[in-house]
């Protein structure tokens, strides 16, 4: 993978090499998994479980995030619907869309297919889907049992591609890892199966945007809108791969035409971007911090502009305009922010995946001047990426922190509660799981990571200059609501 530069900043860790993905974890236990047990008493109530990701078959939602794409699930009854409950309801109550929710085609693999094989049923399901679903591309995703018994889903997909149908396949049995791994498998399948090897002419200024795992990030729609705007402000042409600002399958077909691929996560999507480079020679720019607020966004724009060859004059003009606007709003709040009577907490705690944890910590320390306490990273980054992630946290200006890598949701919550209990009234950036924890410790909770089942998220984003202002508004609205 060609590294166009380490733009992580002092200790921020950019330019990570692509790593093989790994990880474990089971899927959420259905919609009921998003509720605490009733009737528990005392400071530490009994919890059923606190999952913060799903199994590899969660790749279903990566496919659903692509405009015009249809997942075809080759798995047992209930697998798809449980994933929908977790990654739709649990991602800010987002709906399933035209091909999601109850509309996802599934073979409903049963004991009969275990004994006699499920390829015939899969073939029949694909045929029916092609007749009734108006999709631009279709991706077969296999569950645990079909992977164990050895159904040749890839062979079935090849049969339909030979007939001219855009059908890809990925083996996403849940036992293979989390939906982070399933996401990478789905991207690999689309790139491998549906995009021709021929290298078209490079389009000047075209940038592939790899932005992480849709729905696992509840703010993915709004974040893509912000990233698109940031690239366009520099005169670049963002190739958005998901959501309403994307060209759908046409965007994926344009992957080989880009000047470079931009990866805006600490480690997710590096494997897919490296595959695009391997096949078509498109270099990779890795900016691991999704920017929140002026400090991070300015650093992001300078890294992006430098790699893209944007003139210093244009770059400085864009940054000067945005920073003047951002800090003018900040000055408007200066009296409130500097008065002691507003009871603003000075410490914050975090439970989130590595991408969100880095963004939130960078903004909270550099822009708001807060001090980090316990920071729990939940997404199990590969070992090769952890060192760079640690460098970022250890390099926070005057507020170094040693994050804990803990995928177990219950243990993550316990670590944060122990810290919050000793210092009541802190700010907590976490999920809806931490609602009662925040109440017990008299803390402020901003729901910023999966699951978010008690907050509606439509186009919300905390990225960019404007996102920094919005996160401050949301935090201080809760702080002021608690003030006497």
Residue 171, beta-bridge partner list: 142
Give how far Cα 191 sits from Cα of 2, 255, 276, 401, 410, Å: 18, 9, 8, 38, 36
Could you tell me the pTM of the whole model? 0.88
Topology match between the domains 31-194 and 343-482:
yes
Which of 212, 193, 368 is closest to 288 using CA atoms? 212
Q: What is the pLDDT along the chain (484 residues), one digit of tens a residue?
A: 544 543 333 333 222 222 222 233 333 333 333 334 333 344 444 344 688 999 999 999 999 999 999 999 999 988 999 999 999 999 999 988 889 998 999 999 888 878 777 899 999 999 999 999 999 999 999 999 999 999 999 999 999 999 999 999 999 999 999 999 999 999 999 999 999 998 899 999 999 999 999 999 999 999 999 999 999 999 999 999 999 999 999 999 999 999 999 999 999 999 999 999 999 999 999 999 999 999 999 999 999 999 999 999 999 999 999 999 999 999 998 888 877 666 788 899 999 999 999 999 999 999 988 999 999 999 999 999 999 999 999 999 888 999 999 999 989 999 999 999 998 889 999 999 999 999 999 999 999 999 999 999 999 999 999 999 999 999 999 988 887 6
CATH of 343-482, one of 3.30.70.141, 3.30.428.10, 3.40.50.720, 3.40.50.1980: 3.40.50.1980
Q: What is the SS3 assignment for 95-109? A: CCCCCCHHHCCECCC
What's the half-sphere exposure (Cβ side, CA atoms, 13 Å) at 297?
A: 28
Pairing of strands 404-405, 260-263: unpaired
- For residue 285, the 8-state DSSP code is E
Task: Identify the three-state secondary structure at position 137.
Answer: strand
CA dihedral over 293, 299, 304, 310, signed as positive or negative: positive
Q: Which pLDDT score, from 0 to 100, does residue 396 have?
A: 92
Positive or negative CA dihedral for 188, 190, 194, 200?
negative
State how far the alpha carbon of 384 is from the alpha carbons of 4, 5, 8, 184, 368, in Å.
19, 18, 16, 17, 31
Positive or negative torsion for Cα 314, 240, 353, 274: negative
Among 59, 19, 273, 28, residue whose Cα is nearest residue 182: 59
Contact between residue 74 and residue 59 where contact means Cβ atoms under 8 Å apart: no
Long-range CB pairs of 130-134 (<8 Å, 24+ gap) are: 130/160, 130/165, 133/70, 133/99, 133/105
Residue 307, classed as helix, strand or coil, is: helix
Topology (CATH level 3) of domain 31-194: Rossmann fold (3.40.50)
The residue ranges of every structural domain in the chain are 31-194, 343-482
């Amino acid at each position: 993978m060609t590294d166009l530069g380490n733009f992580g900043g002092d200790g921020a860790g950019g330019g990570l090499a692509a790593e093989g993905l790994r990880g474990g974890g089971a899927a959420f236990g259905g919609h009921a998994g998003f509720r605490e047990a009733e009737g528990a008493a005392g400071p530490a109530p009994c919890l059923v479980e606190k999952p913060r990701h799903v199994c590899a078959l969660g790749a279903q939602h990566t496919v659903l995030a692509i405009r015009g794409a249809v997942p075809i699930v080759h798995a047992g009854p209930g697998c798809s619907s449980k994933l929908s409950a977790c990654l739709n309801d649990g991602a800010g109550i987002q709906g399933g869309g035209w091909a999601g929710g109850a509309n996802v085609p599934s073979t409903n693999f049963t004991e009969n297919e275990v004994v006699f094989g499920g390829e015939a049923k899969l073939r029949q399901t694909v045929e029916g889907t092609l007749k009734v679903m108006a999709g631009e591309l279709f991706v077969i995703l296999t569950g645990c049992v079909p992977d164990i018994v050895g159904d040749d889903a890839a062979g079935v997909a090849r049969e339909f591609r030979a007939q001219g149908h855009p059908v890809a396949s990925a083996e996403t049995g849940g036992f293979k890892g989390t939906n982070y791994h399933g996401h990478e498998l789905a991207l690999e399948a689309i790139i491998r199966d549906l995009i021709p090897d021929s290298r078209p002419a490079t389009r000047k200024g075209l940038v592939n945007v790899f932005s992480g795992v849709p729905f696992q990030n509840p703010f993915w729609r709004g974040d893509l809108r912000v990233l698109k705007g940031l690239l366009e402000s520099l005169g670049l042409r963002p190739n958005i791969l998901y959501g309403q600002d994307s060209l759908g399958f046409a965007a994926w077909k344009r992957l080989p035409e880009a000047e470079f691929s931009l990866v805006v996560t600490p480690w997710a999507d590096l494997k897919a971007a490296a595959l695009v480079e391997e096949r078509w020679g498109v270099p990779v720019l890795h900016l691991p911090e999704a920017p929140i607020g002026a400090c991070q966004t300015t650093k992001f724009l300078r890294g992006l502009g430098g790699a893209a060859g944007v003139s210093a004059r244009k770059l400085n003009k864009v940054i000067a305009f945005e920073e003047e606007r951002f800090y003018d709003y900040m000055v408007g709040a200066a009296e409130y922010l500097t008065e002691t009577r507003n009871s603003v907490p000075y410490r914050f705690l975090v439970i989130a995946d590595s991408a969100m944890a880095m963004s939130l910590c960078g903004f909270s320390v550099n822009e708001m001047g807060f001090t980090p306490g316990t920071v729990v990273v939940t997404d199990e980054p590969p070992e090769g990426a952890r060192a760079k992630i640690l460098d970022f946290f250890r390099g926070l200006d005057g507020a170094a922190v040693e994050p804990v890598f803990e995928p177990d949701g219950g243990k993550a919550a316990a670590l944060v509660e122990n810290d919050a209990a000793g210092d009541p009234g802190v700010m907590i950036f976490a999920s809806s799981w931490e609602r009662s924890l925040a109440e017990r410790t008299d803390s402020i909770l901003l729901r910023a990571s999966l699951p978010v089942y008690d907050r509606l998220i439509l186009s919300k984003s905390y990225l960019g200059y404007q996102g920094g202002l919005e996160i401050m508004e949301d935090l201080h609205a809760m702080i002021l609501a608690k003030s006497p």
